[in-house]
A and B are shown apart, each in its own frame.
Chain A
């Protein structure tokens, strides 16, 4: 009975004291604001595209204005055409920005710094269409015959990979989820290491360990800090959901987040807990080996190195680009908590795969907890120089 009581008391102190700290509050509010702000900004940038404005100057083929607009709409671009009296007028219009590009003498595209691909395609196609029409008319063909000649052929599109209309939403959630897990696990894992070193540095650890055993102290600390992390994840996800619901309907809101089941969102929380447990105990073991906060940097990079490949794999696998590497990585102990959620959100993971991955991670956590507790016990009372992990694992105290 005592052990859980001790763990609870330690965890409560971590939560109360840490949530009082300015750093924690600023970080949480800052990250929530960043996420919400980012979503709003994305939706503004990703708003409806503007019409392309095209100027005409010099000799023009008769009726080309209509052809340009027709070709544009065939390409899903809104096009606006303005005819100028001369080549010079059209060129000036480009220079002043009144139009994006100008077609002069039916043969040259004038632009400020090179036409865009769609501008080039629209204009060259339109010129060809207009020319053929003029030729057809001069040959005395009927309107139907001309239409048959000049009608742009619409190519059918066949996609070999079955396209997923929800791909955008899945990519977004998978990427944001992966990033959130990565950042939160690293951040709160470091809080654990920091807390351990702090207690060593101010020597309070001996006062604590004379009352409770090292495993209770370590577990209480990890649980307390982990719950704070969970709170942060919840606040950030909440901020994101609110931001998505208030941005204009164009842009991001076209990404329908509801296509991803609630189960996938919940799985993010489960994987946060698993990933945090795993990495916080790794951080704990390394944190215990140093005695001063200044020395923490010299060991804190190790967990980062362990987890970064997972983050890179997530980045490479976005947009439905899930490969064998992704699938293998979702079973690698230190990578699974970041990679598996991506597969779950993308609908790629089978239930048994998730179960297997969770089992692998749980076993790893169990091993790490045992290892870290022993290292912690061996190194907690050793002050001064950095203690070797192996030495701490074998030793006890002092």
Chain B
């Protein structure tokens, strides 16, 4: 059953790729492969980030997310495959329109916040004055104006994260690539980062970010790409993928206890302390309802398209 779903999703992905390849202002990763000795880091990975879209980049640890992102910035040379923006290979000049926040946060601990931002802004091609103005604007927007001339090491962890975000967005990039940007943020930080991402998407930027917090991805992203063992196995609009999935999420309680149909075409899933079933979408809701009635008094019945959790679990074969 897992295998069958995976194939289906790949077909969906291929369909999307054809549709998307006609669009402009798009970051396009095409068939990139990368080996390190015997280790295959990327295997023919392809996906797109369209203009104005936020793509959640999902995968287990070691699936190839960071390697893919580094490829976009020329930090890794793929053995084969291409990364293009607007249909052209990415060169240094184009890269100055990109913003990157690596998974491993990196800033100069002893440099003052504002000076540091200006430095990174200039390295992204900004003039000193423009960088200084933009730095002040973002510091204000993220509530850091009073820390402007503090050394980075004197800032709290959360505030250092905010400064890190500003280094990625200071030069108003058209493409934003963020590796685990939500990791370690408190709820307020999550909210302000989400709104910054939406703000950039609204301006037409292409945004790719990786995360393990699937609920967050569901909240922020319209599109997702799931990478598994170096290949992108699922790609497309989240709502589309959910609707088109050949299975449904069934959550039933009988007399207050979780109940899962014990038949072919139903898989028991336990996640986050709750139990539900992944069932074949070709079987009608009525059938499941009557089976549940046979089991006893229904105290809860929910039948929905699968959530991102389920899509992810199916895609990575768990």
**A206 and B106 contact, CB distance less than 8 A:** yes
A207 with B106, Cβ < 8 A, contacts A212-B123, A398-B67, A398-B70 known: yes
Identity of the chain A residue whose Cβ is nearest the Cβ of B123 in the assembled complex: A211
**B92 and A213 contact, CB distance less than 8 A:** yes
**B120 and A211 contact, CB distance less than 8 A:** yes
Q: Is A25 an interface residue (CB 8 A)?
A: no
Q: Is B93 an interface residue (CB 8 A)?
A: yes
Q: Is A2 an interface residue (CB 8 A)?
A: yes
Q: Is A13 an interface residue (CB 8 A)?
A: yes
Identity of the chain A residue whose Cβ is nearest the Cβ of B104 in the assembled complex: A203
Q: Is A152 an interface residue (CB 8 A)?
A: no
In the complex, which of the residues A17, A203, A209 contacts B75, with contact meaning CB atoms closer than 8 Å? A209
B66-105 to A contact mask, C-beta < 8 Å, 1/0: 1100100111110000000000000011011010101011
Q: Is A124 an interface residue (CB 8 A)?
A: no
Tell me, rounded to whole Å, the shortest Cβ–Cβ distance linking A288 to chain B. Answer: 14
Contact size class for A? 20 to 34
Q: Is A350 an interface residue (CB 8 A)?
A: no
In whole angstroms, what is the CA distance A204 to B108 when docked? 7
**B122 and A202 contact, CB distance less than 8 A:** no
In the complex, which of the residues A2, A6, A210, A395 contacts B102, with contact meaning CB atoms closer than 8 Å? A210
A205-232 to B contact mask, C-beta < 8 Å, 1/0: 1111111110000000000000000000
List the B side residues contacting A199 at CB < 8 Å: 106
Q: Is A38 an interface residue (CB 8 A)?
A: no
Tell me, rounded to whole Å, the shortest Cβ–Cβ distance linking B230 to chain A. Answer: 13
Identity of the chain A residue whose Cβ is nearest the Cβ of B124 in the assembled complex: A211
**A9 and B122 contact, CB distance less than 8 A:** yes
In whole angstroms, what is the CA distance A2 to B124 when docked? 10
**B100 and A210 contact, CB distance less than 8 A:** yes
In whole angstroms, what is the CA distance A396 to B119 when docked? 26
List the A side residues contacting B92 at CB < 8 Å: 2, 212-213
A381 with B95, Cβ < 8 A, contacts A210-B100, A212-B123 known: no
**A381 and B70 contact, CB distance less than 8 A:** yes
**B108 and A397 contact, CB distance less than 8 A:** no
In whole angstroms, what is the CA distance A262 to B119 when docked? 40
List the B side residues contacting A395 at CB < 8 Å: 36
Tell me, rounded to whole Å, the shortest Cβ–Cβ distance linking A156 to chain B. Answer: 69
Tell me, rounded to whole Å, the shortest Cβ–Cβ distance linking A1 to chain B. Answer: 10
Q: Is A267 an interface residue (CB 8 A)?
A: no
**A204 and B73 contact, CB distance less than 8 A:** no
Q: Is B107 an interface residue (CB 8 A)?
A: yes
A396 with B104, Cβ < 8 A, contacts A211-B95, A211-B120, A211-B123 known: no
**B104 and A17 contact, CB distance less than 8 A:** no
In whole angstroms, what is the CA distance A24 to B122 when docked? 26
**B73 and A209 contact, CB distance less than 8 A:** yes
List the A side residues contacting B66 at CB < 8 Å: 398
List the A side residues contacting B100 at CB < 8 Å: 207, 210
Contact size class for B? 20 to 34
Q: Is B300 an interface residue (CB 8 A)?
A: no
List the B side residues contacting A2 at CB < 8 Å: 92-93, 125
List the A side residues contacting B74 at CB < 8 Å: 213
In the complex, which of the residues B70, B96, B107 contacts A211, with contact meaning CB atoms closer than 8 Å? B96
List the A side residues contacting B122 at CB < 8 Å: 9
A202 with B107, Cβ < 8 A, contacts A207-B120, A398-B70 known: yes
**A383 and B104 contact, CB distance less than 8 A:** yes
Identity of the chain B residue whose Cβ is nearest the Cβ of A3 in the assembled complex: B92
**A9 and B123 contact, CB distance less than 8 A:** yes
Tell me, rounded to whole Å, the shortest Cβ–Cβ distance linking A143 to chain B. Answer: 87
Identity of the chain B residue whose Cβ is nearest the Cβ of A220 in the assembled complex: B123
In whole angstroms, what is the CA distance A12 to B167 when docked? 19
**A204 and B107 contact, CB distance less than 8 A:** yes
**B120 and A203 contact, CB distance less than 8 A:** no
A206 with B102, Cβ < 8 A, contacts A17-B110, A396-B76 known: yes
In whole angstroms, what is the CA distance A398 to B66 when docked? 9
Interface centre among A205, A211, A383 (most CB of B within 10 A): A211
In whole angstroms, what is the CA distance A13 to B121 when docked? 13
Q: Is B109 an interface residue (CB 8 A)?
A: yes
**B73 and A398 contact, CB distance less than 8 A:** no
Q: Is B111 an interface residue (CB 8 A)?
A: yes
In the complex, which of the residues B36, B41, B108 contacts A202, with contact meaning CB atoms closer than 8 Å? B108
Question: Of residues 173 to 210 in A, which have CB atoms within 8 Å of B's CB atoms?
Answer: 199, 202-210
Tell me, rounded to whole Å, the shortest Cβ–Cβ distance linking A3 to chain B. Answer: 9
In whole angstroms, what is the CA distance A383 to B98 when docked? 24
Tell me, rounded to whole Å, the shortest Cβ–Cβ distance linking A387 to chain B. Answer: 12
Question: Of residues 229 to 281 in B, which have CB atoms within 8 Å of A's CB atoms?
Answer: none
Identity of the chain A residue whose Cβ is nearest the Cβ of B108 in the assembled complex: A204
In whole angstroms, what is the CA distance A131 to B120 when docked? 91
List the A side residues contacting B41 at CB < 8 Å: 398
Identity of the chain B residue whose Cβ is nearest the Cβ of A383 in the assembled complex: B104
A1-33 to B contact mask, C-beta < 8 Å, 1/0: 010001001100100010000000000000000
A398 with B102, Cβ < 8 A, contacts A9-B123, A17-B111 known: no
A206 with B75, Cβ < 8 A, contacts A211-B123, A381-B70, A398-B36 known: yes
In whole angstroms, what is the CA distance A210 to B97 when docked? 11
**A207 and B167 contact, CB distance less than 8 A:** yes
List the B side residues contacting A208 at CB < 8 Å: 123
In whole angstroms, what is the CA distance A395 to B77 when docked? 10
List the B side residues contacting A212 at CB < 8 Å: 92, 123
Would you list 16 pairs from A and B whose C-beta atoms are within 8 A, ordered by A residue? A13-B119, A17-B108, A199-B106, A202-B108, A202-B109, A204-B107, A206-B70, A207-B100, A207-B106, A207-B120, A209-B75, A210-B100, A211-B123, A212-B92, A383-B104, A398-B75
User: 3 closest Cβ contacts across the A-B interface?
Assistant: A203-B106, A204-B106, A203-B104
Measured CB to CB, the residues of B under 8 A from A are 36, 41, 66-67, 70, 73-77, 92-93, 95-96, 98, 100, 102, 104-111, 119-120, 122-125, 167
Apart from the given pairs A204-B107, A397-B75, A398-B76, 8 other A-B contacts in the complex at a CB distance below 8 Å: A2-B92, A17-B110, A202-B107, A207-B102, A207-B167, A210-B73, A210-B102, A397-B70
